[in-house]
Structure 1
Amino acid sequence: GRKIYEEFTTVVILGEQVRVTDHVWRDFLDHLHHGRVETRHLKMLRTLLLKRQTADSPPTHYSNTMSPPYPHPDPIETVDTHINFSAQPWADASLITPRHAVRTRWNQAATQKWCTDSETRLFICPSLNTIKGSPLTLEERYALATLPKNGGKRDKGLPEFIHLAIGMKVMVTNNLQTDLDITNGVRGVITDIILSPDEPPLEGGPIVTLKNLPECVLVKLTRTRA
């Protein structure tokens, strides 16, 4: 590795951040990083709330038994808005959450909604655990089930079931092929699902639980150099 490193003759230092193009949001992130959020930043954040406080609403920042240590911010002049989350642009809104359980349930609900609205069949693909290519015995399955859950390391974070459907939105979460721009954060859509030749004939119905892993899942990425 060192020999390859010493072959480099040119060093490029990137001094400009280009991923965030919103200057107001960038300013907020800079102040948040250093713990110096100002009143103007709070006002900006409150304009993004879906259910904002009206001018006549009582303050909700302090308890009834304590007085604020500093003046209360000016009330936000707005009116209650009735938002239809099934209409655009909220129908395709993305959820940002640090909670893995919330993300998983949100993705499942979004996939089921897509299948219902588009009348597309939903495939439930169970995980397949093997040891040296052979299925687990009853004793091995019991041993796996009783292993402690140490942050997902025992199964590398893989879920027991994966929901798949044609037209379903997906996202790359690892840098798979950087030279082709197939990197973390790239989005795409499933265009086809090739089932295993050993898969039994599919039964009718909108939801099918597969017996075998699919042979291939074709995804069209929104951007790639391929």
Structure 2
Amino acid sequence: LGEFWRPVKYLIIDEYSMISRELLARLSKILNIVFKHLKGEDFDVPCSLYFPTSQHDTVQQNAGSELYQQFSTVVILKSQVRIQDAGWQEVLRQARHGKCSEADLQILQQLWTDAVLVTPRNAVKSKWNTAAARRHCQRTHQQLMIFPAEDTKKGRAVLSVEERLALTKRRFDAKARQVDRSQLEHEILLAEGMKVMLVTNVQTDFDMANGSRGVVQQIFWIPESQKETINAMKERFAFHPHVFW
């Protein structure tokens, strides 16, 4: 019990705006198991209204009065903001008693469906992006397309076999040493309806800058030349995108 309460900094008593002196004294006595005394501790206990039931105060009432007199800070609630949604009220009521149903858990999980996660680690970011893309396709039944990067060299459109091997080795060494985090991804996962964010400047004149966010509306092929057919372009395409559900 002591280890459980050791990291606790304060205690909030929910919906006890009119707590009695007796209850406050009993609570203080129980907390003495872990803390030295409620006196001197920064507890956020709300103000109390007390209506005496007898003409004589008991020992517990006197102890509670002494505790109330030790509070030096009073927080006054100016406005009351309550949940209007009936579904959320039911979730909060069930959570208070530890009786959440499967439907309640689904409501809570919906809050994280479209949440934006931020991490400084590049490896974690890549895993999160992959998991989010697969989850999007499972939910929307869209095809997930993997587009490998086309590496080019100045003055030549396609890299040679030796250059590809050297580039692959460089990527492997950089990954093993956890360096060169600024390099571009070697493949991109895309699907229609998926939310995306640019992490580098692409075309600042069209607001395609680092940090810009949007949604993939449509994926289609654009031939390199009007004279080329789509079939001819596919034959010339070095790495065909992998498509799976």
- Greater helix fraction, Structure 1 or Structure 2: 2
Larger Rg: 2
- The TM-score, its normalising length taken from structure 1, stands at 0.48
Q: When you count strand as a share of all residues, which structure comes out higher?
A: 1
TM-score (norm 2): 0.45
